[in-house]
Homo-oligomer: A and B are copies of this chain.
Amino acid sequence: MARLTLPKKARQKALLERLKADPFLTDEELSDIFHVSVQTIRLDRLELGIPELRERIKSVAERNYEKIRAIGGPEIVGELIELELGKSGISMLTATEDMVFQKTKIVRGQYIYAQAESLAIAVIDAKVALIGVANIKYKIPVYLGDKLVAKAEVVRRRGNKYFVWVKTKVNYQEAFRGKFILVSMDDGQ
């Protein structure tokens, strides 16, 4: 990709992108890629405030250590702020880089949905299964960095069936709403 020796500014820009794509490159490997000396690479990193390889690796490891827990690990997506079991709950989620479309920086619906669904399940204090969702609406787009505040309310209970409304707001504006229908499995299958 970087065939010729680029001028300083262009090289530094390319360096940034290159390391974002692959943070596992040593200065020596980078000096090969950009056809400059190792010292030049170091100088570039210094000017750009890019830490050394080991620090980069470490931060990737740490960041992802948390992230894996944030996505796959916990029972709930986002941070639980308030919870009244069987009645209502509030959770907050900050939209990070990996949740958005690269081009538009708009958060993918699946994350907004995941926050809402997991909150709906959390407010029902029992082994539940989601059996249906109705009338989901995405009202305004959510962008990178936005804070999603989801509020769930159990609106009706019929036997072991629960109806939970979840409304998500961004900057006090409703961005998402949906009705979740859950069934408790505590007794009888």
Establish whether residues A133 and B136, one from each chain, have CB atoms under 8 Å apart when the complex forms: yes
Task: Give the interface size class of chain A.
Answer: 35 or more
* Stoichiometry (number of copies): 2
Establish whether residues A64 and B57, one from each chain, have CB atoms under 8 Å apart when the complex forms: no
Interface of A: prevailing SS: mixed
Which chain B residue shows the least CB distance to A63? B64
CA distance A110 to B130 in the complex (A): 10
Kindly supply a per-residue 1/0 record for chain A positions 87-110, scoring 1 wherever the CB is within 8 Å of any chain B CB and 0 otherwise: 000000000001101011010111
Q: Which of A3-11, A27-35, A111-119, A153-161 contacts B (4 or more CB under 8 A)?
A: A111-119
Establish whether residues B106 and A114, one from each chain, have CB atoms under 8 Å apart when the complex forms: no
Q: Which residues of B contact A114 (CB under 8 A)?
A: 108, 110, 113-114
A: which residues have CB within 8 A of B?
24, 54, 57-58, 60-62, 64-65, 67-68, 71-73, 75, 77, 98-99, 101, 103-104, 106, 108-110, 113-114, 117-118, 127, 129-139, 141, 178
9 contacts between A and B (CB under 8 A): A24-B62, A64-B65, A72-B99, A109-B117, A113-B117, A129-B138, A132-B136, A134-B135, A134-B136
